[in-house]
Amino acid sequence: MTAAIRQRVRPRTAVDRFLTFLRFALTALVVFGLFAFLVQQFVGPDNPLTRFLNEDANRLDWDAFRGLLVSGLSQGSMYGLIALGYSMVYGVLGFINFAHGEVFMVGAMTGLITSNKLFEAGVWDDAFPVAILIAVLVSTICATLTAVLMERIAYRPLRGAPRLIPLITSIGVSFFIQNTSALLLGPGAKRYPLLPQWLRDDRGPTWLRIGGQKILVIVVAAAAMAALWYLVERTKTGKAMRAVAEDKEIASLMGIDVDRTIVTTFAIGGAMAGIAGILWGILFGSVTEFTGFLPGIKAFSAAVVGGIGNLGGAMAGGLTLGGSESLAPQLILEPLGVTGHTQLKDAVAFLVLIYVLLVRPTGLFGERLSAEDRA
């Protein structure tokens, strides 16, 4: 059935006109902010335009810009890793697994516990690569288990329900895991052991010196992404996943075990989130029970921005989102004269989501969904 395919010919209703206005207004703000930024950078902060918008305008120097960009990209690659889980589950089951952010938190939490135990045993300082490998292993396993259990207990009984039902369920699951962590492990921030000095050193040529842990995060994320790509595109499991995503019924007629494939999907998404959890620990050094919530929602936004169901898109969306939330306050908001622009970092992430959905609802790289989910 193609009943719901709709193309808009021209704006007709007030709502349409309002949406068009919003699209233009947002685009204009972005363009204008960027223009003001460019003027401030290349003409100088003392010209009337810049001063008119922002009295305290200053040039942004390269080091600061690079810092923002790199931290944006490293965070973005983390979002990308989490976004893969959202994207795959949405592709296969057609619902938003709101609790996927908590899987990431479980990864970060168990990674933290393992690291601290290893630190107490002295392994962390003596043989860091071994320690981090163990930590990654433990957190990946725990995150995978969490994701699989979640599917088994909360989602499998709801297979075939209207899509809002599993979404509401997943909100409950998210709440449950968050508070379980607070109650079992105690509330508040918990610190990772300090990384060894050689890892924290800045590296690279003088004009491009980057903190070692950020390099590590980006490299690990890229490796995980490559492994996933291989798995989905080149193996039998991946083929089964793609078939189930396209049409569950036909896939099962073709002899694919749909339940098992769905579990695999959750497991892979969980593993990616577990790796992202460890990377979070390396990058920020501390974890709370709320660690999963905002990054989770942002990662979902990243998946939508990149085009849901599209794995490359998820990663690209993550980088886009991480980059924009890190850079946009300085590049767009500040030149526009918004005071305290860094406080609006999280708001920027949501604005990116809204903007993309307004301008290009299928995401930057196009969504890949089965026909029934597209409706």
Determine, following the binding rule CB under 8 A, whether residue 171 of this chain makes contact with other proteins.
yes
Minimum separation from the CB atom of position 171 to other proteins (A):
6
In sequence order, what DSSP letters do the residues of 164-220 get, joined into one string? HHHHHHHHHHHHHHHHHHHHHH-SS-EEPPPPPHHHHSEESSGGG-EEHHHHHHHHH
Closest by Cα among 52, 164, 155, 62 to 103: 155
Strands (E), the chain: 190-191, 202-203, 210-211, 286-287
Binds other proteins by CB under 8 A, chosen from 65, 243, 350, 364: 350
Q: Judged by CB under 8 A, does residue 55 bind other proteins?
A: no
What binding mask, one character per residue, do residues 180-219 give for other proteins by CB under 8 A, x or -? x--xxxx---------------------------------
Q: In the set 37, 351, 362, 368, which binds other proteins (CB under 8 A)?
A: 351
Choose between 123 and 185: whose C-beta lies nearer to other proteins. 185
Stretch that binds other proteins, among 138-146, 207-215, 241-249, 338-346 (CB under 8 A): 338-346
State residue 55 phi and psi, 5-degree precision.
Answer: -60, -30
Residues touching other proteins: how many (CB under 8 A)? Answer: 68
CA distance 31 to 312: 27
Judged by CB under 8 A, which stretch of 150-158, 219-227, 240-248, 270-278 contacts other proteins?
A: 150-158
Task: Tell me the CA distances in angstroms from 176 to 67, 77, 184, one per residue in order.
Answer: 36, 27, 12
Q: How far is the CB of 7 from other proteins (least distance, A)?
A: 5
Please state at what angle helix 293-306 crosses helix 311-328, rounded to 10 degrees: 120
List interacting residues with other proteins (CB under 8 A).
Answer: 1-10, 12-13, 15, 18-19, 22, 95-96, 113, 116-117, 154, 157-158, 160-169, 171-180, 183-186, 293, 297, 300-301, 304, 338-341, 343-344, 346-347, 350-351, 353-354, 357-358, 361
